[in-house]
Amino acid sequence: MIEHPQPPKKNHTTHLLPLIVLGVAFYQPFGFSPDYFQYEYFFDTLRQDIPGTIETSRFEPAFKYLSSLLVLFFTSDVLVFSLIATIAFSIKLATLNKYACGYGLLIAITFYTFRILPLHELTQLRAALASSFIVVAFFLSCSDQRKKTFIFLLAASLFHFSTILVAPLILALTFKSLKNPRTLALAAAIIYITSGLIISIGNQYFPSLQMYETNLRTSANPLSPVVILEALTAIASLAFWKNLTEPMRRVIILQLFGLAIYYSFIDIPVISSRGRELFSVLWIFFLSDLVGRSPWVQLLGGAFVATSIALSIYLYFILDFFSPYYFS
């Protein structure tokens, strides 16, 4: 069963958050994200020819069908964008409300708002939806509900193909025999060695993967400050292993695998970055359990959150990640 520092209670103060996300996504106060215009074009194309667009679009099937449903009822592209963002955020928030409470919940939401929300709900809608189902799947996996975990991971993969990098590992951690350190180290090595084969197989089932591979401009940054921060935090957490809850331990294991995937596919930035980001979302479970841990673990978690917020403010808002201009 899931270990908690204190029993979860209903959190009424978070009910307004989806409305805030809806408002931010709709009014775009920070400017338009780099991905906004491709989604706007996609929604416009759907309105003109839903069957043809579904057949030819590189987007994953579940996202295409959800978008098709929304454009039938709403003529505003930014509203459709905002509704999808709100759906993704609401799924995560509902799951967190079941898992955490009090200060743990506040810490997790604060981290998510600065670190993940600008990148997912305000930019990468497909990844936002996929990560929502991954969050639910992880929550279920902590109580070893394998069938439900599999169903939600399958749903996630229908919104973003990068889920195939995360799903097997989340499922594997529901089996005690697969938590052996030697087994995990061997699995990480296999991922690294067979990365080329994984890409080759993926090309057969996800046409967009081949497009990403053949349109490379540069490799992902091996010294990305965000990646280094997560790596240092995960490695440092190993020193306090006995003081971590079972979900916290699973998160650390998954973060280390996420790093292995990042560097295995570093020459394909979309794969390496998207894959790692889907792992990064799961930090919210680690942070939710900080309350009641040892002072050193709380200090580590606090430093991680504070540094993540500072980096996010710099990367998303100071460096003009969002464009203030609208190009029609």
pLDDT given for residue 257 in this prediction:
87
CB 104 within 8 A of CB 291: yes
Rounded distance between C-alpha atoms, residue 38 and residue 24, angstroms: 19
pLDDT given for residue 261 in this prediction:
83
Q: Residues in the chain, how many?
A: 328
Task: Write the CA distances from 248 to 57, 86, 156, 228, integer angstroms.
Answer: 38, 27, 22, 19
Give the distance between the most distant pair of CA atoms in the chain.
58
Non-local (6+) Cβ contacts of 67 within 8 A are 42, 43, 46, 59, 80, 84
Angle between helix axes 61-73 and 36-48 (nearest 10 degrees) is 70
- For the record, the structure tokens of 293 come out as 């841990």
CA angle (134 as vertex; 236, 241 as ends), nearest 5: 20
Identify the CA nearest to 211 among candidates 161, 164, 278, 167: 161
Instruction: Centre a 10 Å sphere on the Cβ of residue 280 and count the other Cβ atoms it contains.
Output: 23
Q: Could you read off the pLDDT tens digit of each residue along the chain, which spans 328 residues?
A: 455 544 455 555 678 899 999 999 999 998 889 899 999 999 999 999 999 999 999 899 999 999 999 999 999 999 999 999 999 999 999 999 999 988 999 999 999 999 999 999 999 999 999 999 999 999 999 988 999 999 999 999 999 988 888 888 898 888 765 555 556 666 666 655 555 555 555 555 555 555 554 444 456 788 889 999 999 999 999 999 999 999 999 999 999 888 888 888 787 777 778 888 999 999 999 999 999 999 999 999 999 999 999 999 999 988 878 876 554 4
Rounded distance between C-alpha atoms, residue 277 and residue 135, angstroms: 12
